[in-house]
Amino acid sequence: MTDTAPFLEIEDLKVFFPTSDGLVRATDGLSYTLEKGRTLGIVGESGSGKSVSSSAILGLHRGSNAQVSGRITLDGVDLLAISDNEMRRKRGSEVAMIFQDPLSAMHPYYTVGNQIAEAYLVHNSASKKEARTRTIEMLDRVGIPQPDRRVDDYPHQFSGGMRQRAMIAMALINDPTLLIADEPTTALDVTVQAQILDLLVDLQRDFDTAIILITHDLGVVAEMSHDVLVMYGGRAVEYGTAKEILSHPEMPYTWGLLSSVPDVARDTSLPLVPIPGNPPSLLNPPSGCHFHPRCPHKDKVPGGLCSTTTPELTPGSRGTNHLKRCHLTNPDEVFAEEVAPEIGLEVGA
Ligand SMILES: Nc1ncnc2c1ncn2[C@@H]1O[C@H](COP(=O)(O)OP(=O)(O)O)[C@@H](O)[C@H]1O
Ligand SMILES: [Mg+2]
């Protein structure tokens, strides 16, 4: 720990959506930090609040009926407190986002090059010619072959992987200090996925970008992230360094995620086991621990505590670099004896 404030600090972030059925608590008290040059992997099943919480950083809930509270401090500035104009200036320059589906982020009627150049011109006083030169440079940087020709192509003339590269070029053209990548490779085949992830690592090394990488795939997290935040039902349920979380997970939900992904240092001859049951309702979440209705280990906790009392996110048995939201008092033993052998995972040092 240092005396200086973290580069990005999220404190008790809540994003609630009023609906005719009641209040949807999509993000319910989320806190984390991220430093420049580091990647935080946010994982969790669909609907756990990954996108909603991250969109709040870019102010994307402004102008909607969402109720957003808490604090989001980026480089000392509280992003929830600044004006819409200031937020617009930061969006696309200081903070940028890439999505799963580049087609939805790119207009079909404009060339790829025009759209990337436009992203540059919005934030810089440059001529069209300078913007085009810079666009070609970025296309080259993200690995588009013959960028001086492809710059005039339309999005549909690019393959899925190339479109994702182009979107990364557009996101990075103004050297943002924070990049939010929301399932950036989910729609791509495995080879292209690996190339795109490599590209992000390269760019991070060159530009010292802080990256929030949202994925439901722990394999991707294992490859890319320095820190990991596991979300369930709008809350963090486990948080720590990737090494810690992946080798000594202490939350049964994380164990479930580990047994449902193909390649996190596990014995791949063993079957993948999806987590039984459904994600919790965010309108009427389960009492106690949100995960208890699906948790195969709740009977190890005496007094039915899991169904009555919400566990806090607290340091587990391995210290303050590893937080978990679970009542189990001996998760390391349960994991080593019951879970790790079943999923063929070696318990790390
Ligand atoms: N505008 C909205 N109104 C009501 N509910 C919403 C709205 N946007 C998102 N949600 C709900 O918030 C929850 C979290 O969504 P999201 O963050 O997109 O999940 P994911 O973890 O898959 O990215 C989901 O249940 C979703 O239905
Ligand atoms: Mg999402």
pLDDT beyond 60 at 264: no
pLDDT beyond 80 at 262: no
Domain limit, last residue, from 154, 171, 188: 171
Integer CA distances (angstroms), 62 to 5, 67, 99, 263, in order: 26, 9, 19, 39
pLDDT beyond 90 at 345: no
pLDDT in tens, 181-191: 999 888 778 88
Domain limit, last residue, from 171, 199, 224: 171
Are 253 and 338 part of one and the same domain? yes
Ligand 1 lined by 229 (C-beta under 6 Å): no
Report the separation in Å between the CA atom of 111 and the middle of ligand 1, taken as the mean of its atom positions. Answer: 32
Which ligand ends up closest to the CA of 282?
1
**What are the structure tokens assigned to 268, written together?**
């791949």
pLDDT at 4 (0 to 100): 81
| Overall average pLDDT of the 287-313 stretch | 96
Nearest-CA residue for ligand 1 atom 26 is: 47
Nearest-CA residue for ligand 1 atom 3 is: 17
pLDDT in tens, 38-57: 999 999 999 999 999 999 99
Expressed as residue numbers, the domain containing 113 is: 108-171
Would 189 be classed as within a structural domain? no
pLDDT in tens, 207-249: 899 999 999 888 888 889 999 999 999 999 999 999 999 889 9
Instruction: State the alpha helices, DSSP H only, in 17-101.
Output: 50-57, 84-90
3-class SS at 37?
A: coil
Domain limit, last residue, from 171, 202, 226: 171
pLDDT at 188 (0 to 100): 79
Would 296 be classed as within a structural domain? yes
pLDDT at 267 (0 to 100): 56
Are 167 and 254 part of one and the same domain? no
Report the separation in Å between the CA atom of 2 and the middle of ligand 2, taken as the mean of its atom positions. Answer: 32
| Overall average pLDDT of the 103-127 stretch | 92
Are 252 and 165 part of one and the same domain? no
Nearest-CA residue for ligand 1 atom 27 is: 47
Would 195 be classed as within a structural domain? no
pLDDT at 68 (0 to 100): 98
Which ligand ends up closest to the CA of 66?
1
pLDDT in tens, 161-182: 899 999 999 999 999 999 999 9
Which ligand ends up closest to the CA of 28?
1
Q: How many structural domains compose the chain?
A: 2
pLDDT at 268 (0 to 100): 55
Nearest-CA residue for ligand 1 atom 14 is: 49
Q: Taking the CA atoms of 275, 323, 41 and 224 in sequence, report the sign of the dihedral they define.
A: negative
Which ligand ends up closest to the CA of 55?
1
pLDDT beyond 60 at 74: yes
Residue 13: which pLDDT band, with cuts at 50, 70 and 90? Answer: very high
Pairwise CA distance, residues 63 & 327, whole Å: 39
pLDDT in tens, 321-337: 899 999 999 999 999 99
Mutate to test the pocket of ligand 1, among 17, 58, 281 (most ligand atoms within 8 A of CB): 17
Least confident of 158-162, 170-174, 200-204, 274-278: 274-278
- For 13-32, b/e burial (b = at least 16 CB within 10 A) is bbbbbeeeeeebbbbbebbb
| Overall average pLDDT of the 260-288 stretch | 75
Nearest-CA residue for ligand 1 atom 24 is: 47
Pairwise CA distance, residues 335 & 324, whole Å: 14
Residue 254: which pLDDT band, with cuts at 50, 70 and 90? Answer: very high
| Overall average pLDDT of the 282-292 stretch | 95
Would 14 be classed as within a structural domain? no
Nearest-CA residue for ligand 1 atom 7 is: 17
Ligand 1 lined by 91 (C-beta under 6 Å): no
Q: How many helices (H) and strands (E) does the chain have?
A: 14, 12
Cα 302 from chain centroid? Answer: 34
pLDDT beyond 60 at 342: yes
Residue 263: which pLDDT band, with cuts at 50, 70 and 90? Answer: low
Would 228 be classed as within a structural domain? no
Report the separation in Å between the CA atom of 142 and the middle of ligand 2, taken as the mean of its atom positions. Answer: 24
Tell me the one-letter amino acid at 272.
Answer: L
